[in-house]
Amino acid sequence: MAPRILVTGATGFIGSHLARRLLQEHPLGPDAELVLVVRDPTRLSPALREGARLLVGDLRQADRFREEIAETTWCFHIAAEADYRGGSATVENNVESTRMLLDLLAEAPGLERFVFTSSIGAIDRHPNDPCRRPLTEDDPAHPLTPYGRSKWACEERIRRSPLPWSILRPTWVYGPGMRKTSHIRTFIRMVARRHPVTKFAFPGRVSLIHVTDLVDALLLLAKREEAVGEVYFAADGHPRSLGEIFREIGRYLGIRAGTIPFPRPFIRMMRALRPHLPFAAQNLFSDLLSASNEKLVRLSFTPQVPFAEGLLGTIHWDAREAMPPQERKWSLVTGAGSGIGKAVAQRLYAAGDRLLLVDCNGEALDREARRLEARAFPLDLARPDALETLLQTIEREGIELHRLVNAAGIGIRGTVAELGFEEQQRVIAVNVTALLFLSRFALR
């Protein structure tokens, strides 16, 4: 019998990324069958609806899937009601779903791992904690929200179970697919609207992890034998202040943000008042939500997505989500491998544009094209045949240019009298001829 992977929460942010990875890359084996427990299969991508086996229903009534669940080899339990302001119903629903799943998996003789996605909110901070160091797996739990209390209750129940379990506590998870009301996506909208709050350099730091890296961590826990019976925080290892996050978002959107500092006495006062502040305000001045990833790193976890890169991709996705597909414009940027061209390309990508990038430095161009999901044209614009190739490709594929940025240029030190004939030809070809030809083409 082929091994079976059971995933809950596949219609959500994290679960959908994990399910796609399992379906496309087969990290747990090429023969493993992917089974998804979902309430609304219409929220799945077509690829997942066709490529996975679906168990449609509520986890709290999952006993009707007893036979299917009994054949599970690996289980990733991600489904949860992520309602931070919910009441006792949030706790009851999340705990009952987990209890039902644990009971059914107890009848799975071939179960190798039960991986539970918890949250940093399951721990939080004691009111008297000065927040001077990141949280670790050894810190006691003081969940401050119903959602956090539900996750902690699930953790306690899992620890008492006889299953081969591992628990992962993500910090702030960001990336394409995140909910509109989630932290980073909310910040993007606030900076774009120039909300007054985003002007300030709030010093409170948070730990983050890109959803791609989080999926890596989940799979790592499923594979490593030493992860059985262990709890891990998932973070990229570089806590960032809210002011820094505002500044980075503003850099990509071309908006000044996160630059107004607070006086140190005021920061000290706000940190002293933290226990008396609303939960949403406690992290503004204190490192309430920073956590160490050292234990996960010792398991050989290495984050792959730098924050600047992951944030830019998230901003692009958010902009793209806000516009109909037919309104996504093509922009052509020359000299996109470095300098001004590179910066402009990033700004256009953040605005949701589709990009055609040109540069004579193929290595630098390929790096930016991968980062910006762009078409790369490693061409020397001093060559007439290179220009012809570029323009023919655009015409043949029916690409309608919305923007043209002529950033490519050659600067050679010395006077005109000192330049050799070939150097003069090259400067004129790139700085004048290519600019005129591309501009004329774009204006047609």
Question: Which of 296, 234, 322, 308 has its CA nearest to residue 18?
Answer: 234
User: Cβ neighbours of residue 40 under 8 Å, at least 6 residues apart?
Assistant: 11
Q: Quote the pLDDT of residue 324.
A: 76
| Architecture per CATH, 4-178+207-238+290-304 | 3-Layer(aba) Sandwich (3.40)
Distance CA 261, CA 201 (A): 5
The two structure tokens encoding residue 360? 């004579």
Question: Which of 51, 166, 52 has its CA nearest to residue 115?
Answer: 166
Question: Which of 106, 20, 219 has its CA nearest to residue 36?
Answer: 20
Q: Quote the pLDDT of residue 326.
A: 66
Output the pTM of the full model.
Answer: 0.91
User: Cβ neighbours of residue 103 under 8 Å, at least 6 residues apart?
Assistant: none
Which amino acid is residue 295, in one-letter code?
K
The two structure tokens encoding residue 182? 């989630």
Q: Quote the pLDDT of residue 417.
A: 66
Tens of pLDDT along the chain (444 residues) come to: 789 999 999 999 999 999 999 999 999 999 999 999 999 999 999 999 999 999 999 888 888 999 999 999 999 999 988 765 656 677 788 999 999 999 999 999 999 999 999 999 999 999 999 999 999 999 999 998 889 999 999 999 999 999 999 999 999 999 999 999 999 999 999 999 999 999 999 999 999 999 999 999 999 999 999 999 999 999 999 999 999 999 999 999 999 999 999 999 999 999 999 999 988 899 999 999 999 999 999 999 999 999 999 999 999 999 998 887 767 789 999 999 999 999 999 999 999 999 999 999 999 999 999 999 999 999 999 888 888 889 999 999 989 899 999 999 887 766 666 667 777 778 888 888 889 989 988 887
* CA dist list (Å): 93 to 40, 83, 85, 89, 105: 17, 11, 14, 6, 18
Q: Are 357 and 369 in contact (CB under 8 A)?
A: yes
Q: Quote the pLDDT of residue 403.
A: 93
Within 13 Å, how many C-alpha atoms sit on residue 312's CB side? 20
Distance CA 11, CA 81 (A): 12
Compute the radius of gyration of the chain from its Cα atoms: 26
- Assign domain 324-443 to its CATH superfamily: NAD(P)-binding Rossmann-like Domain (3.40.50.720)
Q: Where in the chain is the domain with CATH 3.40.50.720?
A: 4-178+207-238+290-304, 324-443
